[in-house]
Amino acid sequence: MPANLTPAYFKAEQWYRSATTPEEKILALEQMLAVMPKHKGTDKLKADLRQKLSAIREGEEKRRKSGGVDIFHIPRGGAGQVVLLGMPNSGKSSIVGLLTDAKVHIADFPFATNAPVPGMMHFEDVPIEIVDMPPITADFSMPGQVGTYRNCNLIAIVIDLSADVEEQWNACLDFLETRNLLPGKETVCICTKSDIEADGAIDKVKKLCANRFDMIATSIESGEGMGELPVMLFKQLSIIRVYAKPPGKKPDMDEPFTIPVGSTVFDLAKVIHRDLAEKLKHARIWGTNVYEGQSVQRNHVLNDKDIVELHFG
Ligand SMILES: Nc1nc2c(ncn2[C@@H]2O[C@H](COP(=O)(O)OP(=O)(O)OP(=O)(O)O)[C@@H](O)[C@H]2O)c(=O)[nH]1
Ligand SMILES: [Mg+2]
């Protein structure tokens, strides 16, 4: 009986073939199994895929137990983690070097960076982690590299405005699409080298981003966009910061809590005092859409920069 495999299956199979790490192979195989038409004609294929899957899972289990190190595993730090994606020489390290204290390797030759380098940048009082990465090309990425992208909060596609923007765009989008990263991962576009922009390059990128991705033009030479970039990344991370105020005391304005947009007073209570949260009675707020010190219920939705005094019963 013919298997009658679908385009979705072939796409997943392409992902599997391009997978370079066990984690990635597992995800791709799971996808192949999920989208595979289910009938007699696919029974043997299903059994084969399941066998492959369990062999890889076993191998992974052994590796974990033996303590293997993965250089592409960058634990998340700050209020959110942004990971750069771009072709060689596109200016990724320059951005991280300018916005953070991280020791990055900037060079006028390609493939200068060969491992991820995290650095901490600041949007006002919010620390945001930005990770420099080795480059990708249309047909090359380092084994394991995709793991960093899979684990982050936001992917930033870096496009060099002085080079062929379509080629870079296609390489980056292809990387993200074949690995199924676009659904579920927030993505933005950072254009670099606006001081030496090739004719019409910004307009080309704008068209490519269309309504799908926000984009910003920057230059480390002229400084264009460097002030706005942290603002944009903060917005794209969809987080707000709030300041906690113990009753009868001054608020702690030094270390805001960062929580997802849409979080309520109760969500904040869970972050601050996991054990006490259920006892939350009400809160007083100084900030947006409330009068000074207004008393609100636990389902009140917080805004960026609110000062919150939690009252437990
Ligand atoms: N004119 C100009 N040159 C820039 C700008 N940003 C980076 N460069 C130069 O571009 C070259 C490559 O910069 P890097 O930051 O090392 O690029 P990269 O993307 O990290 O490169 P790989 O590590 O190979 O992927 C260096 O010579 C930089 O000085 C910019 O805004 N304007
Ligand atoms: Mg680099």
Sole residue written with tokens 């020791």: 103
Ligand 1 atom 11, closest CA: 108
Ligand nearest to the CA of 112: 1
170/16 Cα distance (integer angstroms): 20
Q: Which H or E element spans position 88?
A: none
Which fold is adopted by the domain 239-312? Ubiquitin-like (UB roll) (3.10.20)
Positive or negative, the Cα torsion across 151, 155, 160, 165? positive
For 168-173, the CB contacts below 8 A with 24+ separation are 168/86, 168/87, 168/90, 169/205, 169/208, 170/138, 171/87, 171/136, 171/137, 171/138, 172/85, 172/86, 172/87, 172/136
For 252-269, how does the pLDDT look when each residue is reduced to its tens digit (9 = 90+)?
Answer: 898 899 999 999 999 999
Distance separating alpha carbons of residues 77 and 224, to the nearest angstrom = 27
Cα of 85 vs centre of ligand 2, distance in Å, is 10
> CB of 96 within 8 A of CB of 86?
no
pLDDT per position as a tens digit, 275-293: 888 999 999 999 988 899 9
Q: How far is the CA of 250 from the centre of ligand 1 (A)?
A: 45
Atom of ligand 1 nearest to the CA of 86: 19
Query: Which tokens hold the place of 301?
Result: 């939705």
Q: Which residue ranges make up each domain of the chain?
A: 7-65, 81-236, 239-312
Q: From the CA of 124, how far away is ligand 2's center (Å)?
A: 26
Pocket of ligand 1 from Cβ distances under 6 Å: 86, 88-94, 106-108, 110-113, 135, 192-193, 195-196, 219-221
Residue 133 CA, ligand 1 centroid: distance in Å:
13
CA 206 to ligand 2 center in whole angstroms: 24
Counting from 1 in the atom list of ligand 1, the atom nearest the Cα of 219 is 31
- By percentage, how much of the chain surpasses pLDDT 90? 79
Spell out the per-residue pLDDT of the chain, length 313, in tens. Answer: 577 899 899 999 999 988 888 888 999 999 999 999 999 999 999 999 999 999 998 888 777 777 777 899 999 999 999 999 999 999 999 999 999 999 999 999 988 999 999 999 999 999 999 999 999 999 899 888 999 999 999 999 999 999 999 999 999 999 999 999 998 899 999 999 999 999 999 999 999 999 999 999 999 999 999 999 999 999 999 999 999 998 889 998 988 999 999 999 999 999 988 888 899 999 999 998 889 999 999 999 999 999 999 999 8
Atom 32, ligand 1: residue with shortest CA distance: 193
Q: Which residue's structure tokens are 């919150």?
A: 308
Ligand nearest to the Cα of 86, by number: 1
The CATH H-level (homologous superfamily) assignment of domain 81-236 is P-loop containing nucleotide triphosphate hydrolases (3.40.50.300)
Specify the ligand 1 atom closest to the Cα of 158: 19
Distance of CA 110 to the CA centre of its chain: 24
Confidence (pLDDT) at 67: 73
